[in-house]
Amino acid sequence: MRQTADQIEEEAAAWVVRLDLEGRTDGLRAELDAWLAVDVRRQGALLQAEAAWAALGGAQARAAIGAREAASGDNRGRRRFLLGGLAAGLAAAFAGLVVLGQAEHYATGVGEIRRVPLRDGSTAALDTNSEIAVSLSRGRRAVRLVRGEAWFHVAKDASRPFQVEIGQARVQAVGTAFSVRGQGQGAEVIVTEGVVRAWIKGSEGQAALLPAGVVAIVGADGQIAQTRGPAEGSGRLAWMEGKLDFRGETLAQAVVAFNRYNVRQLVIVDPELARQRIHGVFRADDPVAFARALEVTLGARVSYADPKQIRITGPRR
């Protein structure tokens, strides 16, 4: 008969105490392996019990047990918390900061999304595989979007306009929030707060004032096309939360979006499936979960065998 989780938990606790008191001898180890092999849940329960036992020797637990005198000379607890700190540190180190000349470069790799505080109090958020160069001087604040997409929340400073340069396009603000990404020689601008001024270099006379809620394409010819769609705009900025928000895009478009964030690429084999329209919010860094959702909702068949890609075919007909 199948053991209950509770019975397994009891046995796992006994194992952990036994291993600790008797030591991990070869004989005991073999006995343990035999026990573990019977049910995969036992492997989980053992780890849970080991972690709880370890926590009992941790700093907080130690204080609770009331043995302050024993705290000196044993840094096991401290090492444990250092490990957590180390992981956090590694994650933080991913946002590469390279200082080149006066401009500070910030870059993200594939799948990475970063918020970067700037020295003037503004904030930049970089989408996957993006780079900005920031030069702050007394008279102006200039940012060049080298590649990718970035959103800016601009600190108010009327004496120093904040200008983003992307290809030939220019977007300027005093205190507001907006995102930009390249589109040919021009740019796409989404204004989330306040008002920005946008133009193409050389045709500043045609500059347009873009209010919040506007999505605008600043064309290389100096023409500025606006669509007012707050819903569309906010969906497009889901990347700032590490998410992709689809509102009736085709599966083909969704796959392109996912593939910008991940080394493991989604491949749609079935053209009919690729035309299906989808709705939903997904984590940008989890193509497997997205593929699973397609399996369940569209009946797609998915192959996860290849670590470099996930192949998706249509339902069996």
Partner 1 sequence: MSTPRREEIVAWVVSAIMPHEAAVRGWLRRRLQSPEDIDDLIQEAYAKLAALTSLDHVERGDRYFFRIVRNLLVDKIRHARVVRIDSVADIDLMNLDTAEPGPDRITAARQELAKVAALIDALPDRYRQVVRMRRVEGLSQKEIARRLNVTESVVENDAVRGLRLVIKALKGGDAADAKSDVQGGRHASNR
**Interacting residue ranges for partner 1, rule: CB under 8 A:** 4-6, 8-10, 13-14, 16-18, 20-22, 40-58, 60-67, 70, 74, 79-81, 83-84, 87, 91, 241, 243, 280-283, 286, 288-289, 292-293, 295-297, 299
- Cβ proximity to partner 1, 157 vs 286, nearer residue: 286
Q: How far is the CB of 237 from partner 1 (least distance, A)?
A: 12
- Cβ proximity to partner 1, 58 vs 167, nearer residue: 58
- Cβ proximity to partner 1, 16 vs 268, nearer residue: 16
Find the distance separating the first CA and the last CA of the chain, reported in whole Å: 40
Q: How far is CA 180 from the centre of its chain?
A: 18
Q: How far is the CB of 40 from partner 1 (least distance, A)?
A: 5
- Cβ proximity to partner 1, 162 vs 261, nearer residue: 261
**Own/partner long-range contacts of 194-202 (Cβ < 8 Å, ≥24 apart):** 194/154, 196/171, 196/172, 197/171, 197/172, 197/173, 198/169, 198/170, 198/171, 198/172, 198/224, 199/169, 199/170, 199/224, 200/168, 200/169, 200/170, 201/168, 201/169, 201/170, 202/168
Angle between helices 40-56 and 26-37 (to 10 degrees): 130
Q: How far is the CB of 275 from partner 1 (least distance, A)?
A: 21
- Cβ proximity to partner 1, 50 vs 157, nearer residue: 50
Q: How far is the CB of 213 from partner 1 (least distance, A)?
A: 19
What CA–CA distance (Å, rounded) separates 7 from 215? 59
- Cβ proximity to partner 1, 8 vs 310, nearer residue: 8
- Cβ proximity to partner 1, 80 vs 311, nearer residue: 80
Q: How far is the CB of 78 from partner 1 (least distance, A)?
A: 11
Q: How far is the CB of 7 from partner 1 (least distance, A)?
A: 10
Q: How far is the CB of 47 from partner 1 (least distance, A)?
A: 4
